[in-house]
Each structure stands twice: as structure tokens, then as C-alpha cells.
Structure 1
Amino acid sequence: MHLKTKQREFQKHVLKAMEGKEITDQLRWKIMSCKMRIEQLKQTICKENDEMTRHTEGLLRIKEENQKHYRRAQRHQEKKEKIQKHNRKLGDLVEKKTYDLKTQYEHLANLRRAHILELTSVIFPMEEVKTSMRDPADVSSESDNAMTSSTVSKLAEARRTTYLSGRWVCDDHNGDTSISITGPWIILPNNGDYSAYYNWVEEKKTTQGPDMEHNNPAHTISAALCYATQLVNTLSLILDVNLPKKLCNSEFCGENLSRHRFTRAVKKLNANILHLCFSQHVNLDLLHPLHTLRNLMYLVSPDTENLGRSGPFEISADLEDSMEFVEPSAAGETDESGDEHVSDEETDLGTDWENLPSPRFCDIPSQQVEMLQSQSTQASQPIASSSAGGMISSAAASVTSWLKAYTGHR
């Protein structure tokens, strides 16, 4: 009994000791767990501190970059304001220069207009001359009493029509009037029918005599065309317009031209006149590809509002195409003389390139030199007819004196 009692006491004592040890172990485990957690928290805090430091450094870098961008934006804003201010100044300057240029163009147009009107009123006056021509319908009705009134009216209507731009149009001036230049004795048919020239030339080859020289329509036509060529070349100098066709002042002077060469020269003259009319914005409804002097009259008329203008212009393709219908039979003829085989490439300036006004320092006075050379050629070249030679030399002298007076005033 005594041993059992001691055993129980010993067991109790052992149980107490084990309970204390268990409690101690639990406390130690808790302490160890807390230490581990503390260590983990320290590591986490270190990592967070490192990240915080990196974020802080990144934030500082971003702030510095933002400061740089802000300062750069301020500089750009200042540059933008300066550029806008400069652009406003340039805009005002461009507007002022544009106004000054417009004023100078208007002043130049007025000077050109005054010089052209003086030129056409003193040296090359042109006026319409009525010709007493009987209507072919009336002549036909007198010769044939059986002809009906409808046939007479159809003949009269056919006489007043012209093939233009691919269609037949009514021409009120066809054959009724003539246009004189430099005097009433030098006239051209208004309808552009210059067949009397080469008809007389062909007749002169077969018939010789003094009457052929006195009754010479070729002298009148060639003199009028020569004056018209001189006027066109002078107008191109005043208006500063490059002509599409190269035509010398002496083209219609000197020896009698063949039909092919004469027709080609007339077509070039008409093309140059139409080109000048296009450049001065002449009403296209008034122009006709065959009316040489009438187109010139419309060009230099005081009623032409844009006479003397500068700048780009449009060319009417219909009127230019109508030039191809002038003397179609003569276009296919070949000349017997070898000196007349001159291609258009050698005589034309070409129209493939746009004609722009050249700067003052690049201006080459080729046309002026050409005109002076042609005038000297006119003075030195022997002319068959004394009357035509006198008229042409007087015109050359008058043009030279006018150019000297014109350059002297400038």
C-alpha cells in the first residue's frame, strides 16, 4: 500500500513536471513562431523599404523629367508665340507686297495701255473701210431670171457663213468691209481672203507688162501684212508676251512669196494675234481665226478692259483648231525652191511649255534684237516695187523713232 501511494504521488509529481515542461515547450514554440514572424516581417519591411526607395527615386526622376518637359514646353510655347508673331508680320508684309504688286501691275497696265493707244493712233492707226461690193445673189438673180427667191437667199446666206471650230457659223463681216492700217490706201479684206496676192503672183509669171505693176493688189496686201507683223511684234514687247510663232517683220517684204509660203506666214501671223488676244482676255465671241486686222482692232481697242494686263491666261483650243482650216489645199503643196523648205520646228518658238514672265535680271531682249535686225534687213534688202519699199521703210523709220522716244521717256 505504501508503495502504491508513493507511486501515485510520483506519478502526480511527474505529471506536474511534464505539464510544466509542456507549457514551457508551448511557450518556446510560440516564441520561436513569433521570432520567425518577426523575421519575416523585418524582411518584408526591408523589401518594402527598398521598393519605397526605388519608387521614391523613380518619382524624383519623373518629377525631374516633368520639370524638364515643362521648361521645354515653356520654351516651345515661347518659340510658338515668336513664330506666330513672325508669321503675322510676314502675313502683313505679304499682304502689303501683294497690294503693292497689284498697284504696280495696274500702273504697268495703264502705261502699256497708254503706249499701245499712242502706237495705234499715231503710227499704226486702223479703221474699218466699207467696200462697195454687190451681193453675188443679186448678180446671179440678174443673170438668171429663172432663179427663185429662195435660191437667192440661200446664196446670200452661204456667202455670209464661215467654217469655224468644226461647224458653219454666220459671219456678218464676211466680205462686206475691209480694214485699213497706217492709212486708207493700205487695206486688207476683212474675211481673210488674201487669194488676190498669190493670184496676182501666178498671173505675173505668165503675163508681163506695166499694167501688172500699177494694178498690183499684192503690194497693198503685203504692205498691210508687213505693218500688222510689225505691230504684233511691237505689242509683244510692250505686253511682255512670248509669241508662239516666230515671224520676222520682213517676211512679207521683198520677193513675191509662193502660195504655200504666203499662207503659212499668214497663219503664223493670225496665230500670234490670237495669242495676244488670249493674253489680254479679249472676248472670244468677237474673235475669228481668219480676221487678221479685225482681231487686232479688238485687241487694241480702248474698250478692251484688260488691255495691258499681266499674268497667266487660257488659250481657246477651238479657235486654234480652226486655224487648220485656212487654205487646206495650200497646206499639201510643195515648193519648188529649195530655200522655202523650212520646217515649223525651225521657225516656231513652241507652245509645249508654259510661257512665264522671266525675272528682270534674266530678261534676254531677243525679240527686240530680232526686230532691229529685221528693220536693218528691210533697209538693206532691195524691194521690187518702189511704192511698197517706200511704205515699208517709212514704217521702219517710224517704229524706230517711236522706240527711241519710248526708251527716252523711261
Structure 2
Amino acid sequence: MASPSERQHLAAGGGGSPRTGPELLDSVDDAEGLYVAVERCPLCNTTRRRLTCAKCVQSGDFVFFDGRDTERFADKRERLNRLRETQLDFQKQVASVVEGKLAADKLKWKIMSCKMRIEHLKQSICNGNEEIAKNSELLSKSKRYNQDLYIRSQRHQEKKEKIQRRNHKLSAVVEKRNKDLKSRHAELASLRRSHILELTSVIFPLGEVRNVTRDPADVSFENDNAMTSSTVSKLAEARRTTYLSGRWVCDDHNGDTSISIAGPWITLPNNGDYSAYYNWVEEKKTTPGPEMEYNNPAYTISAALCYATQLVNTLSHILNVNLPRKLYNSEFCGENLNRWKFNRAVNKLNSNILYLCFSQVWTL
């Protein structure tokens, strides 16, 4: 073992680097028993006195050279091993305690979650009970309402049966009245036909008249042997042509048919040509004076239109038809009408006649 002064000098250390491994052991073995001052310590590489032997170093039987700690290295190593074992034991104990703590915490969390689930289930059960109570109340109300509806349906069924019986009776009455109405309509139709027949045969007889009169000038021209047939026809056509209101109008009615009303002398042209009335009105404007021709065609046209108006109005009254155009019976009996007023009145009369005819077609 080294002395305390040598231990202190060895602990202070020298200038060289320490050796390690097999080189250190060989140096220690070679240095055993030497007292040379130049010999260096294999541990601290200093030139001090005799140092510890290699066996002591290997066995750990050495201490600090300065005397600050008298415990050997072997004892320290043994104590370190014991401390490590103790540390491992403590670690195992701590790990077991921590595992127990973790298990306890897990159990606590499970218990807490179970409690929360229990609370939620209790709340759900309470809500379910409330909902069941509400549904039970609604069910009872629905049952009472259905019972009331059933009672009302029974009453309505009785009313329905009464109404059906009444409708059956009324249908029989309506059928009987329809038969009476049809018979009355038939009687009314026959009565209307008889009245219309009397009206059109006695008061306003209607007929078709064919005009076959010939112009004396045409006869004289035909008897004249000095004229050819073409000259005669051209002269007759020129005589029957009149310039009226800016255009040439033909007044030839020879061979045309006319409609007579209230007598054969009161006629209307079948083709709707009222140029004779227009010519007469124009002549009255240009040459006013007393009227001497009582058989003027304008008079017959006015009289025929007046009778036709009276006939249409009377027929509408008999047939119970409202005419679309209002036309008085004296529309064509007044003063001389100009072309516009005359055409307007004739159009009204034609509209009423067509409407009256179509109304009878619809009733059929």
C-alpha cells in the first residue's frame, strides 16, 4: 500500500497521459520492488515512491492517496452493486405501485363513465315516461274523437238514407214533371208552328216572283230590220247601264227572281241588289219635286224591308228569342235614307234573320 504522501502526490497527478490495458499491468509488474526515483506510476504517470501493486489494483484493494476517503474501491463497487439492486427493487416497487394506480384510475374512470351512463339512462327513462304519458293522453283523446266521429257517422248515415229516399221520391216527381214539360213543349211547339204558319200565310205571305217583263225598246230594236243583232244588244246594254257614285251600275232585272212579302207587288231582289233605291235617292237629291210614280221600285223595296222587319220581330216574340241587333219596325218607313244608313239597317236585319235561324237549329 502507498503512504499518505505518496497517495497525495499520486492523486495530484503528473504531466504524462495514463496508460491503460495490458501495458498498465506489465509496467506495474516490472516496477514491483524498485526504488528508483525515475520510475513512474502506471496510474498517474508520476515519479513518486513505491505504488500499489497490480494484484491490489485488480482486486480493488486501494484507496485515495490523499486520505480523503478510506473506503476501498472493492467496497465501493460492492456498495454500488447493492445500490443498483436496491434501485431495481425500488423501480419494480414503483412500477407495481404505478400499475396499481393506473388500474385504480381506470376503474375510477369506468365507474365515472358508468355513473354518467346511468344518469343518461335515468334521464332517458324519465323522458320516455313523459313521452309515454303524453302519447297515452293523445291516445285517449284520439279514442274519444274517433268515438264521436263514429257517432256522427251513424247520424250522417241515417241522414244519407233519408236524403236518398227523398231523392228517389223527388226523382219520380222530376221524371213526371219532365214528361209534363215535354208534352207542354210539344204543345207549345205545335202552337208556335200554327201561329207562324198563320203569320207567314195570312199576314205576311211569302213567295217567289220571277220577273219576265221585257223592255219595249228591246222589242222595237228587234223588229227593226235595218239593225243587226249585235247593235241591238249593245244599245240595250247601254240603256240599262247607269253611272252612280263614281261607278257604272247595271239596272237589268229581266229574268231575275224576287221575294214577295205581304203581296206580289211588294218584292225584294233575290240577289240583294238595292241599286234602284240608291238611284231613286240620288235622283231625289238632284231633282227635288212631287213624286208621281207610285210604282217606283224604291217604294216596293222600302215596304218589303219594313214588312220583313215586322215579321222578324214578331217571330222573335213568338219563339222567345232575343235578337242581337235592335231594329225598329219603322226603320225603313221614315224619310229617305242615305247609302250608309240604309246599308247599316239592312245589315242589322240580316244579322237578326241569321241569328233567328241558327237559334232554331240549336234547339233542334
Task: Indicate the TM-score class for this superposition, using the shorter chain for normalisation.
Answer: 0.3 to 0.5
TM-score by length of 1: 0.42
TM-score by length of 2: 0.47
Q: RCO (CA 8 Å, sep 6+): is it higher in 1 or 2? A: 1
Which structure has the larger Rg over C-alpha atoms? 2
